[in-house]
Amino acid sequence: MCLGSVNRLRQEASRAVAQSVEEAQQYVQQQPVVGADETSWAQGNADGANERGSQAWLWVAVTPLVTYFQVMLSRSAQAAQHLLGATFKGILTSDRHGGYNWVDLERRQLCWAHLKREFIKMSERSGVSRQLGEALLKQQEQLFESWHRVRDSTMTSREFIESVNPIRVQVKALLQEAANYKIGSQEKTPKRQNGTHLPSTTESRVSSVVVCYG
C-alpha cells in the first residue's frame, strides 16, 4: 500500500470518528478535575493544514473515564483554552507551563512529580534550603504512602482525605516559611527579618503553591 493510500485512509477514519472525538472533548471540558500536558510532535502537511511546516504539539486532557488527545500548531494559552474550554471551571493538574496561567491559582494543582523534583533540588543545597527541602520531601512521602494504601484498598477515600489535612497544613507552612526569607537582587543567601544571613544557596524565592487534594 502506497503512502498516499495510507494518508487517504487516515483522513477517512478521522472524519468517521469526528463526532465521537468532539463529544469526548466536550465531556472532558465539563469534568471537575482534569490533568493536562503537552509535548512536541512531528506534524507534516499531508492534510494541507500545516503549509509552513510549523512546530506541532500533542496536547492531552486526562480524566478518570476519558482521555482526549489533540495535535495543535501552538503551545500557547489560546491552545490550552481550546483544549480545556475557555470557560473551564474545574481543577487543573499540570506543570508550570505558562499556557495554563489563565486558570485561577485556586483551581491549579501542580503535578506532584514536578513538585517532588523541586523539593529534591532544595534538599541538595545547604543550610535552610536543605532543611526545608527535606521536610517537604517527608510530607510528599507521607502523602503518597497514604495514596498507595487507597490504591491497594487498605484505606478508604474518606480516611485518605482526613490523613491529607495535616499534610496540607504542614506543606503550606513550609512553603510560607521559605517565601518569607528575603533575597537581595545581588545575592543568593536568604536573610532573616533581622538582616542576618542564613547558610543557604537558595537561588530564588519560593512562590506560594496551591496544593489541592481530592
pLDDT band at 212 (very low <50, low <70, confident <90, very high): very low
Q: Are residues 153 and 101 in the same domain?
A: no
Instruction: List all residues 6 or more positions away from 185 whose beta carbon is below 8 Å from its beta carbon.
Output: none
Max CA separation in the chain (angstroms): 76
Q: Are residues 174 and 83 in the same domain?
A: no
Q: Quick check: helix, strand or coil at residue 43?
A: coil
Asked which of 93, 110, 127 is the last residue of a domain, the reply is: 110
pLDDT in tens, 28-65: 999 999 999 999 998 877 677 777 778 899 999 999 99
Instruction: Please say whether the dihedral angle defined by the alpha carbons of residues 182, 102, 212 and 57, taken in this order, is positive or negative.
Output: negative
Using CA atoms, how far residue 28 sits from 22, 31, 203, in Å, is: 10, 5, 38
Q: Are residues 22 and 106 in the same domain?
A: yes
Q: Are residues 208 and 123 in the same domain?
A: yes
Structural domain of 127? 111-214
Q: Are residues 115 and 79 in the same domain?
A: no
CA distance 51 to 44: 8
Q: How many domains does the chain have?
A: 2
- Residue 183: predicted pLDDT: 67
CA distance 211 to 214: 10
